[in-house]
Amino acid sequence: MALSGVQKTVVAILAVIALIIGVLVQKVTRPAPLDRNVLSEAGIFLFDSPRTIPDIDMQAATGEPWTRADLVNQWDLVFFGYTFCPDICPTTMAELRQLTTALPPETADKVQVTMISVDPNRDTPEQLSKYLDYFDAGFKGATGEPAELAKLANALSIAYIEPDTSENNYLVDHSGQVVIVDPQGNYVGFIRPPLNPQQLAQWLPRIMAQ
């Protein structure tokens, strides 16, 4: 049966009302935009646009190949360090363990911490795996040839100086920030040290929800 003019008008009005309600619901349920100034006070810096990470060919702490694909399908917190580091590295890794423990379970399940060793001379897969197991947090690790390490470090704005490996007990100078990678494998920001695990545990779920 054909609709009358009045019925058509009512249907049109109801459609407009439904559209308005849908827009309002979307606005209410959408996370509020993050205040970059407030984030920076917490040591978190997000880029306006994600940055692409190049393809890389490295080796995981498990001995298996490690590539950009390992940074996809979850949020990654990536830290560059080495297992013989006397101070910054163990402190940062312990703070990252505190962070992952403090996150809500539904958020923690979507976050992976990965340590990239800038000391492939000493950090064999076995050494790296043993070091990560110490933190007992499911952390992953990888390292690789100097050229591959440099490619990844440059893409993630990480600075480090290749050491003189002929010396005993040499140290490696390196940046201390933690890189944030989104589930698409893009570099979206970083966390400046020192880390505040409890504060970061409040912000990270909101960053992931954007």
pLDDT at site 10? 59
Query: Is cis: bond before 125, omega within 30 of 0?
Result: no
The residue ranges of every structural domain in the chain are 1-30, 36-209
In degrees, rounded to 5, the angle at the alpha carbon of residue 123 between the alpha carbons of residues 108 and 84 is: 85
Weakly modelled stretches of the chain, pLDDT under 50:
27-30
CB of 142 within 8 A of CB of 119?
no
Q: Tell me which H or E stretch contains 178.
A: strand 178-181
pLDDT at site 27? 45
Task: Give the span between the Cα atoms of 87 and 80, in whole angstroms.
Answer: 13
Taking the domain 36-209, which CATH number applies? 3.40.30.10
pLDDT digits (tens, 9 = 90+) for 34-54: 787 889 888 999 999 999 999
Classify strands 75-81 and 111-117 as parallel, antiparallel or unpaired.
parallel
pLDDT digits (tens, 9 = 90+) for 40-96: 888 999 999 999 999 999 999 999 999 999 999 999 999 999 999 999 999 999 999
